[in-house]
Amino acid sequence: MAELHELSAVELRGSLRNGDVSAAHVAAHFLARIEQRNPLLGAFITVTADQAMAEAGAADARRSGTAREELPVLHGMPLAFKDLTDVAGVVTTHGSAALEHKPAPADAPLVALMKDAGVVCLGKTQVPEFGLTAYSENRIAPPSRNPHAPSRSSGGSSGGSAAAVAAGLLPFAPGTDGGGSVRIPAAACGLVGLKPGRGLVPAGESQGDPARLVVPGPLARSAADAALLLDAMVPGGGYLRAIGQEPPRLRIGVTLDSPWSGTYPFTPEREALDALEAGERLLAHAGHAVADAAVRYDNRYPEAFTTAWTAGVGAARISPQREALLAPLTRTFRRRAQQRSPAKLAEALAFLRKFQQDTVAQYAQWDLMLMPALAQTPRPVGWFTGTAHGGDRWPAAQWPGDADGDYRRQCEFAPWSSMVNVCGLPAISVPVHWTGTAPGQGLPMGIQLVGQPGSELLLLQVARQLGF
């Protein structure tokens, strides 16, 4: 008989709804998993065991007087939130040593939505400072590590959540994605990661986000599990019910073009191209028409995106005497954002709107666009910051200050993600390839499929059709 953490999220949800297992038993099981494995993985910053057991007990009490069909969609399911998201009574660190760490007075809208869906919150997961980077390392807690190779990063900014799901510390998890922050860690950890289109899940949008880049989305071990979590994020969406329907025959355009290549020329690693080829084979075998597609991107994109992406950190409320505690990348981008005029930000936002129109028009020639999820294998912990050493923390004085080199390495690592946020389109990362000699061996590598507006269900159906 499978252990609870080996069940799919759909199976675990069924067991909870049927009364085969109690929410308290499930919570205790996953808390024990976290206690056992988190010291190595660094997936959680904060574990709220007492609060979780109290919530699980309340869920069991509700179930005793509630008909099965009236239970909330995620009754008793264990969950955790990125430590960028407020959970009432729990400290939100934002991954930063520069902030005072006080318990949040109220739940963020996404947390409130998930609690209404019946979840039991186990804690807060590791993030980069203010969610800025494609790796989940900061100065306040051990880095989040990849369960498939602990010397490697789990990606970012939803890296702690992805590591927790991949290691069986959670059945699935909500992430947020402003430039790849669901899809990057999903690809690094061998998960399905869905970035919904802009506006589908308004509960997860960020206030310090003038370009409306950030959307919440599910991290899961299968497309069906992702559909279940999306059903909670979009009440009445019916994604799990419809995911088994076969998608129509699709025209899929394959591209390696990136809006970053003019500023940061890069060469995809062989493993990234292997994943792309594996994706093409699977899609063709499923009956889809796969062909090369050329995409033209405006070379002014990198500067405009960076301006919009870093505007929020420039406005963050940080006392001057604590700014020295910021990581070098954060401190550099904060200073530059504060030095920009409002007119410069407005100009960047206007450009990104035009970029969206141009890019969406090119993508519209195809039903889906296909590209690698990442250009490189999951990077060693400390690789982006130049602190690759295998330890947990570095004193502030020892962190290299090469913020621009750090940012360039991130853009070369994940050159196909941020423009999807600018365009507001849905996209999914699917783990089609492993670098070892057999599935599950070596490091995972994924593909990204980008859909037309409103194609979240189609993307989930295609991922399921491919066997995920």
Any catalytic annotation for residue 157? yes
Bridge-based pairing state of the strands 368-372 and 172-177: unpaired
Bridge-based pairing state of the strands 251-254 and 289-292: parallel
Catalytic residue among 82, 115, 124, 195: 82
d(CA 388, CA 355): 36
d(CA 220, CA 199): 21
Catalytic residue among 136, 144, 154, 157: 157
Bridge-based pairing state of the strands 368-372 and 251-254: parallel
Q: Which of 128, 96, 135 is nearest to 317 (CA)?
A: 96
Q: Are 10 and 228 in contact (CB under 8 A)?
A: yes
Strand, coil or helix: 211: coil
Any catalytic annotation for residue 153? no
Catalytic residue among 153, 161, 181, 455: 181
d(CA 294, CA 130): 35
Strand order in the sheet with 251-254: 172-177, 215-220, 192-195, 427-434, 444-451, 368-372, 251-254, 289-292
Q: Are 421 and 179 in contact (CB under 8 A)?
A: yes
Q: What single letter denotes the amino acid at residue 371? A: M
Q: Are 380 and 146 in contact (CB under 8 A)?
A: no
Q: Are 402 and 386 in contact (CB under 8 A)?
A: yes
Q: Are 81 and 125 in contact (CB under 8 A)?
A: yes
Q: Are 94 and 84 in contact (CB under 8 A)?
A: yes
Any catalytic annotation for residue 82? yes
Axis crossing angle, helix 223-233 with helix 109-116, rounded to the nearest 10: 110
d(CA 407, CA 253): 29
Catalytic residues: 82, 157, 181
